[in-house]
């Protein structure tokens, strides 16, 4: 590789001081865990190079040699904390990297060791969303705990999950950089995207365009920002949705109060439904305001609260009323996730066909244009499930003679018990031609030929302009051409 290091870790040394009884500092533990995941994702140790300096003291000035390493590194990981923003050394490293690679290059990964207010964050990081390694205390919502410390041993799984998510995105970014040509140390043009953890931020469109394999999202939903006490639940919830290719709005759990209403209205217009995770916190009226805006927008509302939440212990009566609302589902989060997925992707109804006795089974000729061949095969399977025998037109090939194809069609019309014409994408003139051919065959038949024309929703306005005693016109009401209900109507009206 042309650059000496892929990843440069910038941190304040106060964040790596040893707690009593601990053998490793917080940053050392983070990097050790991250390197295990990186080796596993890459397949071997030699696939990447990571640099950090654990030896220099916090008051030692940053050297030109270190700044050269920063400039040549492909990715910067910074551990954001009160100590970081107080360290001129750390800020110099950040400024040097951004001056080389650009703040919007997707190469800056922010590890939030502590929760900082918007005013406390460096202005250059204002629009970058980080990996939150902190959680609000469930008993004291105003208190924030750092994941990976003895005080948060019960959140051990969340800590490792955050580190693994960071490793996954680092590997993706490094592979992308190498594909584009590693070692080009030019100032990046702002690209308006930033690699963010999938559990907190939806992948942006330009980010997705840069991935080797990108699949289109199947749905878009709005998951309302939550108080700190529900941040982990929201992270887990979004992670599951994105695994099912569901886009989640907004892209961050942080709220800009000056633009919140406008941004929420815009996001709701794109969303299939509004989802809100609730606990006893009304967040100074914001939770209720989110709900009211969703109701006014007309979008479907789905809310969740834990079944273990004791409403009697909630002092905010407005919040109690919200928790008792008609849209609230009290359950564990997994059941709520499954309920949402079924609402977004309802299973197709299962129709149990009535099996016809062999003595009553019919020969059905399904005549279609070449454009609707696949639809005819689908319908034939439905009719076969009822016990009937289906014939489709012969598909022309290099060995077929037009005279043989015409003779086969005439034989089918002469001896079948019913004729079904499917009209979806074929020209209407072709359907009329099929009807004329069947009418001409009536003299060669021993009995009338029951005929049905099924017109798909794509052609509701077309006029077939054909009438006959044994002719039935079936119009599909659903968005799916010839659904199972249309099969039932054909059998009932024609056979």
State the pLDDT at residue 27.
Answer: 93
Residue 257, pLDDT above cutoff 70: yes
State the pLDDT at residue 4.
Answer: 60
Q: Label the pairing between strands 144-146 and 134-136.
A: antiparallel
Kindly give, in sequence order, each residue whose CB lies less than 8 Å from that of residue 241, ignoring residues fewer than 6 positions away. 221, 223, 248, 337, 340
Neighbours of 450 (CB within 10 A): 20
Which residues sit opposite 108 in a β-bridge? Answer: 76
Distances (CA, A) of 89 to 16, 58, 79, 98: 15, 8, 13, 14
State the pLDDT at residue 140.
Answer: 72
State the pLDDT at residue 274.
Answer: 96
The average pLDDT across 26-40 equals: 92
Domains and CATH numbers, the chain: 1-197 (3.40.50.10140), 215-347 (3.40.50.10140), 358-494 (3.40.50.450)
Going by pLDDT thresholds of 50, 70 and 90, the confidence category of residue 63 is: confident
State the pLDDT at residue 484.
Answer: 66
Indicate the range of 118-132, 227-241, 261-275, 473-487 predicted with least confidence. 473-487
The average pLDDT across 26-48 equals: 86
The mean pLDDT value of the chain amounts to 81
CB 490 within 8 A of CB 476: no
Residue 133 three-state SS: coil
Continuous segment of H or E residues that includes residue 388: none
CB 222 within 8 A of CB 249: yes
* DSSP collapsed to 3 states, 59-113: CCCCCHHHHHHHHHCCEEEEEECHHHHCCHHHHHHHHHHHHHHCCCCCCEEEEEC
* pTM to 2 decimal places: 0.50
Residue 491, pLDDT above cutoff 80: no
Going by pLDDT thresholds of 50, 70 and 90, the confidence category of residue 132 is: confident
pLDDT tens-digit readout, 294-327: 999 999 999 999 988 999 989 999 999 999 999 9
Helix H segments across 416-483?
A: 428-440
What tokens appear for 444 in the block? 């060669």
Indicate the range of 59-73, 185-199, 402-416 predicted with least confidence. 185-199
């Amino acid at each position: 590789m042309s650059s000496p290091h892929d990843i440069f870790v910038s941190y304040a040394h106060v964040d790596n001081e040893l707690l009593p009884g601990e053998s490793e500092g917080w940053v050392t533990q983070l990097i050790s865990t991250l390197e295990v995941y990186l080796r596993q994702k890459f397949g071997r140790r030699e696939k990447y190079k990571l640099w950090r300096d654990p030896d220099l003291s916090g008051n030692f000035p940053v050297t030109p040699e270190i700044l050269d390493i920063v400039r040549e590194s492909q990715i910067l990981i910074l551990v954001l904390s009160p100590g970081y923003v107080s360290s001129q050394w750390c800020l110099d490293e950040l400024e040097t990297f951004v001056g080389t690679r650009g703040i919007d290059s997707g190469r800056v990964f922010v590890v939030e060791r502590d929760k900082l207010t918007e005013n406390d964050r460096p202005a250059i990081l204002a629009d970058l969303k980080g990996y939150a390694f902190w959680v609000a205390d469930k008993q004291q919502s105003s208190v924030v705990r750092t994941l990976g410390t003895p005080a948060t041993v019960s959140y051990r799984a969340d800590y490792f999950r955050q580190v693994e998510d960071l490793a996954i995105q680092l590997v993706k970014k490094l592979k992308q950089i190498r594909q584009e040509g590693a070692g080009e140390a030019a100032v990046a043009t702002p690209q308006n995207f930033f690699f963010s953890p999938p559990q907190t931020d939806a992948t942006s469109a330009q980010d997705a365009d840069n991935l080797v394999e990108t699949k289109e999202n199947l749905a878009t939903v709005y998951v309302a920002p939550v108080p700190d006490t529900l941040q982990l639940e929201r992270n887990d919830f979004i992670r599951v949705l994105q695994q099912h290719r569901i886009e989640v709005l907004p892209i961050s759990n942080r709220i800009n109060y000056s633009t919140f209403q406008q941004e929420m209205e815009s996001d709701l217009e794109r969303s299939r439904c509004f989802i809100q995770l609730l606990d006893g916190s009304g967040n100074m009226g914001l939770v209720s305001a989110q709900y009211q805006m969703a109701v006014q927008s007309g979008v479907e509302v789905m809310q969740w609260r834990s079944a273990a939440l004791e409403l009697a212990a909630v002092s905010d009566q407005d919040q109690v009323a919200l928790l008792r609302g008609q849209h609230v589902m009290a359950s564990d989060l997994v059941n709520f996730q499954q309920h949402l997925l079924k609402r977004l992707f309802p299973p197709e109804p299962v129709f149990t066909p009535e099996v016809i006795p062999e003595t009553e089974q019919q020969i059905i000729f399904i005549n279609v244009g070449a454009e609707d061949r696949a639809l005819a095969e689908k319908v034939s399977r439905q009719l076969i499930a009822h016990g009937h025998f289906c014939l489709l037109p012969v598909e022309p090939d290099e060995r077929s003679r037009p005279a043989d194809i015409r003779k086969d069609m005439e034989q089918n019309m002469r001896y079948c018990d019913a004729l079904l014409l499917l009209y979806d994408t074929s020209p209407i003139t072709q359907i009329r031609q099929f009807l004329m051919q069947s009418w001409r065959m009536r003299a060669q038949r021993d009995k009338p030929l029951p005929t049905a024309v099924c017109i798909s929703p794509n052609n509701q306005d077309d006029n077939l302009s054909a009438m006959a005693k044994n002719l039935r016109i079936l119009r599909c009401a659903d968005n799916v051409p010839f659904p199972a209900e249309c099969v039932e109507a054909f059998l009932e009206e024609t056979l």
